[in-house]
Amino acid sequence: MSDVLVRGIAADGAVLACAAIATGTTEEARVRHGTSPTATAALGRTLVAAAMLGSGLKGQQTVMIRILGDGPLGPMIAESTADGALRGYVTHPEADLPPTPARKLNVGGAVGRGTFYVTRHVGLREPYHSSVPLVTGEIGDDLAEFLRSSEQVPSVVAVGVLVDPRAGVLASGGLLLQVMPGAPPTIPAYLEERAKVLPAVTQMVNGGASPDEILKAALGDLPLAVRERRPVRFACRCSAQKVEKVIVALGRDEADRILQDEGRIEVQCRFCGEQYVLSAEDVDAVFSASD
Ligand code: ZN
């Protein structure tokens, strides 16, 4: 199953529904950043959360989740664009913790206590910021709390990543159901009952379920009208041209100082880990082109 996000409305508009598979995206994030199993799960869940929060974006709109916890992973960021490009990083990708007593990856412990921030760039001059304190640091609980407290909508959220310490990411995906204001009062209770017996999202994804099948399992008898089906992937917006702009902004003197000390200038993109290396000749060319 390739990485894809499906968004729709259920029960005649009473529920916004979204499910995503992001196994390949999460594996690429793992390889690019060299994340430990716990960091892989934390970052993968955050990428999936960003993808689902970003479903329905248009044009140049983006949504970014920043998780600023005091745990060993440090700050973690994931961003989604309208065309399904996901990117993100965790400050300490090597950080890992022993599993919980239930033999699960200890994502909550690795994230710690802190704040869940969401920034939406919707095409206005100023982006929208909102935040809530982290509930458990397990990401799914935190996204649900964010939707409840900042957007006043009850929701069902599940995000999960299955990591094999040797083979990498086996499954990554998520589910998001948001009950709209004015929905019949029976609907939240119905969805909560279904959520209690729903298999873990990692189990469904690992078993080959499509987003449509995950939505069907979660929604039960509520009819779904699919509005969008969008591929998602790990993709960054960094480029050699942007790095050249950074070097011009640095100024010739500072660039020369680095060249003297290091023999070259290395710039690494935090979001994707891509490394850009410029020799003295490259730097000369950048400054003569910028004159
Ligand atoms: Zn990048």
Closest by Cα among 165, 155, 159, 164 to 137: 159
> DSSP class of residue 46?
H
- Look up tokens 């003295």; give the residue: 280
pLDDT (average), residues 52-56: 93
The least confident of 105-109, 181-185, 203-207 is 181-185
Gap from CA of 235 to ligand 1 centroid (Å): 8
Gap from CA of 278 to ligand 1 centroid (Å): 16
With a cut of 90, say whether residue 289 has pLDDT above it: no
Q: Which residues pair with 78 in a beta bridge?
A: 65, 88
Burial level of 1, CB count in 10 A (0-12/13-18/19+)?
middle
Average pLDDT, the chain: 95
**In CATH, what class is 4-234?**
alpha beta
Residues lying with their CB under 5 A of ligand 1, a single-atom ion? 236, 238, 269, 271-272, 274
Gap from CA of 242 to ligand 1 centroid (Å): 10
Gap from CA of 276 to ligand 1 centroid (Å): 10
pLDDT score for 252: 93
CATH 3.55.30.10 residue ranges of the chain are 4-234
The pLDDT-based confidence of 151 (bands split at 50, 70, 90) is confident
Is the model more confident about 1 or about 39?
39
CA Rg, the chain, in Å? 21
pLDDT score for 291: 72
Gap from CA of 92 to ligand 1 centroid (Å): 17
Closest by Cα among 259, 214, 270, 221 to 29: 270
pLDDT score for 11: 94
The whole-angstrom separation of Cα 291 and Cα 289 is 6
Gap from CA of 54 to ligand 1 centroid (Å): 19
The pLDDT-based confidence of 40 (bands split at 50, 70, 90) is very high
Q: Which residues pair with 66 in a beta bridge?
A: 77, 117
**In CATH, what class is 240-290?**
alpha beta
CATH 3.90.1280.10 residue ranges of the chain are 240-290
Q: Which two tokens stand for residue 116?
A: 């869940």
Gap from CA of 188 to ligand 1 centroid (Å): 40
Q: Identity (one letter) of the amino acid at 207?
A: G
Phi/psi of residue 14, each to 5°? -75, -25
Nearest 5°: the CA angle 70, 71, 76 is 80
pLDDT (average), residues 176-187: 93
The pLDDT-based confidence of 64 (bands split at 50, 70, 90) is very high
The pLDDT-based confidence of 150 (bands split at 50, 70, 90) is confident
**pLDDT tens digits, residue range 101-131?**
999 999 999 999 999 999 999 888 899 999 9
- Locate all alpha helices (DSSP H) within the chain, ordered by sequence: 23-33, 37-53, 107-111, 140-150, 186-197, 201-206, 211-219, 240-250, 252-262, 280-290
Gap from CA of 274 to ligand 1 centroid (Å): 6
With a cut of 90, say whether residue 214 has pLDDT above it: yes
